[in-house]
Amino acid sequence: MHAPATSALLENPFAKRRSHRETYEFIVRSVLRGATYLILFATAAIFLHIIVKGSPILFQAKAPFINVEFLTKLPETLHVLEDKQGHIYKTDPKGADAIKHQLGDNLRQEKTISYSGGGILGPIVGTFLLVLVCIVIALFLGISSAIYLSEYAKPGKFIEWVRLAILNLAGVPSVVFGLFGLGVFVLAAPVFTNTPLDRALLVIPLGFTQMSFQGWDTSVLSGAFTLAFVILPVIITASEECLRAVPMGFRETSLALGATRWQTIWRSVLPFAMPGILTSSILGIARAAGETAPIMFTAALAFKDKLPWQGEAGFGGVFTESVQALPYHIYTLAARIPQNEYSERAQYGSVFVFLVLVMTLATASVLLRRKLRAKYKW
């Protein structure tokens, strides 16, 4: 070292100095870390943006602290009236008539913004119905198919082939399932009726009534079935994996003790596979709740001024009526109406409620997995 002696004395000659190699390693590590945190940051920014813009719409400072109106009213057209003194009134169609009457000549201008007034009860109810019916169909068919494939089916070429086909279907775009749902459930599924439509593909007389393959129209049932088949491949594959992960010894022990096949499955296989099955199922359902493309043509309407059970069909309407759904409502608000200061309330409000709903499902699956895993261990 040619440094002046004084400074050399001040420096600790044994201090660890970074070599070139270490500097290089540090840089590479930082770049990789940067990539990781960039992903986290982008996601956090999106969540924060929605929370900051959306939560003031749902929550308020006064009791009851939640904007009840937003959650309990149907969507309606928002009317914005301005009088000649510059006062602005935001109201629903009925209120608009009253204010117009009251203002008379004093009315300066009126703007209407579709879908942006009222609340989002219709979409919330629709999404709940779709998800509920979808859960019943998907879990029933999914878990029992998985039990068949893993416990009953004889291994062979055919079953391998079926397994592969199911695995491949898991990657098929959801909009393709939407096409299929339209072609099959909306236009060709069987119904029992005395007056079959002309477009029915096939009519089978059953004596007291007729079975007509004329489809279920755009309805909750069509949408829920389509959604169920979007997530079925995932649920079947994941459930089967969980079932097969239960050690063979469990089954052998049970059978050796004289239990029947079903007792074995029910008592010593399913309980241990359940955490995995439930987790994957709830994740699947969270996905179904978030899907838009499959319900666009099979269940959802842009606007409906009645709840499903208020129609002609009465309570049966929860299956046979078309509904509004949150994801489709968001699509409508984002793409079909002009963006302005008045449309923001409905947009961010719906997005916020929707995100909370889906994220709750996703979080529930994680928590459930933890809890059940602690209970069943081998």
Partner 1 sequence: MNEEKPSPSSDFQGLIKPPSFLGLRVDRQSLIKHFFTGSAAVTILTLFLIMYSLLKEGTGFIPTYQFELKVYRQAGLEFCDFIQKPLTENTALLSKLNRAVNADTATLTQKAQVRRDALFLAKGRVEEKTARLREAVTEAVETANTPPEKLAQARQALNEANAKAVGEEAFPDVYSAEERRQIASDLGTLQPDAAEPPAIIKTLSAEFAEQDRIAKEKYAGFLEAVEAFEEATEPIVELHDGIAELAKSTKEAAVQQHMAEDAKAQLLAAAESAKTPEAKANFQKEADATSLEAIDYKGKIEPIVAKLPEYEAMVPTYVAAIKAAMEKVPQKGETKESTALINEVRKQLPKHLTHAEESPALMKAWQWDKPIPMVQALTAFLFGGDWITNSSWQDFYGVVPLLTGSLLIAVIALVIALPLSVGAAIYTNQFASPREQELIKPFIEFIQAIPSVVLGFIGISVVGDLIKETSNVAWLQWIPGFPVQERLNMFNAGLLLALMAIPTMFSLAEDAIQNVPRAFSEASEALGATKLQTVFRVIFPASLSGVFAAMLLGLGRIIGETMVVLLVAGNRIAIPDFSDGIGTVFQPAHTLTGIIAQELGEVSKGSSHWQALFMVGILLFTISLLINFVSRKVVKRFQLPKI
Region binding partner 1 by CB under 8 A among candidate stretches 3-11, 32-40, 95-103, 309-317: 32-40
Q: Please give the size of the binding site for partner 1, defined by CB under 8 A.
A: 90
Q: Could you give phi then psi for residue 112, rounded to 5 degrees? A: -120, 135
The mark string for 119-158 relative to partner 1 (x by CB under 8 A, - otherwise) is ---------------------xxx-xx-xxx-xxx-----
Q: CA 160 → CA 142, 153, 163, 172, distances in Å?
A: 17, 10, 5, 19
Region binding partner 1 by CB under 8 A among candidate stretches 3-11, 39-47, 272-280, 315-323: 39-47
**Binding flag, residue 366, partner 1 (CB under 8 A):** yes
Q: Could you give phi then psi for residue 323, rounded to 5 degrees? A: -135, 170
In this structure, what token pair is assigned to residue 222? 């069509």
The b/e string for 2-33 (b: 16+ C-beta within 10 A; e otherwise) is eeeeeeeeeeeeeeeeeeeeeeeeeeeeeeee
| Minimum gap (Å) between residue 27 Cβ and partner 1 | 10
Region binding partner 1 by CB under 8 A among candidate stretches 7-15, 71-79, 111-119, 258-266: 258-266
Looking at the chain, list the stretches that DSSP marks H as alpha helix, in order from N- to C-terminal side.
5-10, 20-58, 68-72, 93-103, 121-147, 157-169, 174-181, 220-245, 248-256, 261-263, 270-290, 293-296, 317-320, 326-335, 344-375
**Binding flag, residue 24, partner 1 (CB under 8 A):** yes
**Binding flag, residue 165, partner 1 (CB under 8 A):** yes
Specify the residue, 11 or 22, whose C-beta has the smaller distance to partner 1. 22
| Minimum gap (Å) between residue 238 Cβ and partner 1 | 14
Q: Exactly one of 23, 43, 102, 253 binds partner 1 (CB under 8 A); which one?
A: 43
| Minimum gap (Å) between residue 290 Cβ and partner 1 | 3
**Binding flag, residue 353, partner 1 (CB under 8 A):** no
- Residue closest to 138 by CA, chosen among 245, 237, 264, 262: 237
The mark string for 168-207 relative to partner 1 (x by CB under 8 A, - otherwise) is xx-xxxxxxxxxx-xxx--xx-------------------
As a whole number of angstroms, the distance between CA 225 and CA 181 comes to: 8
- Ranges within 326-345 binding partner 1 (CB under 8 A): 327-328, 330-331, 333-335, 339
The b/e string for 270-302 (b: 16+ C-beta within 10 A; e otherwise) is bebbbbbbbbbbbbbbbbbbbbbbbbbbbbbbe
| Minimum gap (Å) between residue 2 Cβ and partner 1 | 30
| Minimum gap (Å) between residue 307 Cβ and partner 1 | 22
Instruction: Name residues whose C-beta falls within 8 Å of residue 271's C-beta, 6 or more positions apart in sequence.
Output: 376
Specify the residue, 74 or 138, whose C-beta has the smaller distance to partner 1. 138
| Minimum gap (Å) between residue 145 Cβ and partner 1 | 4
**Binding flag, residue 292, partner 1 (CB under 8 A):** yes
Task: Round the CA-based radius of gyration of the chain to a whole number and report it.
Answer: 29
Specify the residue, 48 or 66, whose C-beta has the smaller distance to partner 1. 48
**Binding flag, residue 15, partner 1 (CB under 8 A):** no
**Binding flag, residue 71, partner 1 (CB under 8 A):** no
- Ranges within 219-248 binding partner 1 (CB under 8 A): 229, 232-233, 236
**Is residue 230 a contact partner of residue 174, using CB atoms and an 8 Å limit?**
yes
Instruction: Name residues whose C-beta falls within 8 Å of residue 287's C-beta, 6 or more positions apart in sequence.
Output: 230, 231, 234
**Binding flag, residue 347, partner 1 (CB under 8 A):** yes
